[in-house]
Amino acid sequence: MTSFKPQEQPLYDVVRSSILQKLQTGEWAAGSRIPTEKELGSLFSVSVGTVRKAVEELVSERVLLRRAGIGTTVAIHTDAHVFDAYFNFVNAAGLRVTPTSRLLSFKEIGADDALAKKLNLTKGKTLIRFDNLRLCDGEPAMLDRIWVSRDRFPGLDKDSFLSRPGSIYGLYQAGFNTTVVRIREQVGASLPPTFVVNGLKISSSLPVLKIERTAFTFGDKVVEYRERYVISSLCQYQNETGLKA
């Protein structure tokens, strides 16, 4: 049985950290049911109320899922989960879009200073870079240029990327035991670089929305850096926060 020493941080936050540790080590794998609140209370020597607050926070953060008749499970990066949590685009009518994708390129490169800093790696480390075109209603709407570390994804190749059954984050989770739990995005406007002009088939003078995204796994470790270029007349960025009615 785990026992806790008095700490300044709230006890429910200590329990939350302990649950995350078990997810990080794979003791509680994606899709598996975690122990009941009563069992967790006994495991961590805390009250059910403290456990409930920790679990509810992880549910709100989409790390855990409550499932009627099953209990609380570790979130799986299904397409529905990924698009609901990490895809913030709507069409001109305000309706969420569900794009299709097409791989344009897949190659290995060495990390320069800028990419090494983005991915928290040393310069020269081998990266996998892929360009993923996204189409809305069959029309090119956005292009993602994505970089990941070869060390983190040793078996990732073009064939496994193309044959993945679902989302890219689902591939990371199912194939490489790497779960994206948080993203950070910075949004701005940009003239499109040449590869975007060619991929989206647009004029080099057309401004596009540029979104820089860093994705993290447990322990605040960087999994992926990407630059997304969007034709804003086709897809509009929408981010909702706060209480929903």
Instruction: Give, in order, the Cα–Cα distances in Å from 65 to each of 55, 130, 177.
Output: 9, 31, 18
The answer to whether the beta carbons of residues 216 and 224 sit under 8 Å apart is no
Mean pLDDT estimate for the chain: 90
Q: Which residue has the higher pLDDT, 7 or 76?
A: 76
Give the residue carrying structure tokens 């929903």: 244
Closest CA to 223 of 127, 148, 117, 146: 148
Which pLDDT value is given to residue 4?
52
Which pLDDT value is given to residue 5?
53
Query: What does the alpha-carbon distance between residue 213 and residue 95 come to, in Å, rounded to a whole number?
Result: 23
Provide the 8-state DSSP code for 35: P
Closest CA to 199 of 165, 231, 235, 234: 231
CATH architecture of 79-237: 3-Layer(aba) Sandwich (3.40)
To the question of domain 11-74 being in CATH 1.10.10.10, the answer is: yes
What single string gives the DSSP state of each residue in 98-129? Answer: --EEEEEEEEEEE--HHHHHHHT--TT-EEEE
Looking at residues 3-11, what average pLDDT do you find? 66
Domains of the chain, residue spans: 11-74, 79-237
pLDDT tens digits along 127-175: 999 999 999 988 999 999 999 999 999 999 999 999 998 889 999 998 9
11-74 and 79-237: same fold? no
Model confidence at 245, pLDDT cuts 50, 70, 90, reads low
pLDDT over 90 (residue 6): no
Q: Model's pTM, two decimal places?
A: 0.84
**Which is it for strands 208-217 and 221-230: parallel, antiparallel or unpaired?**
antiparallel
pLDDT tens digits along 95-132: 888 889 999 999 999 999 999 999 999 999 999 999 99
pLDDT tens digits along 28-60: 988 899 999 999 999 999 999 999 999 999 998
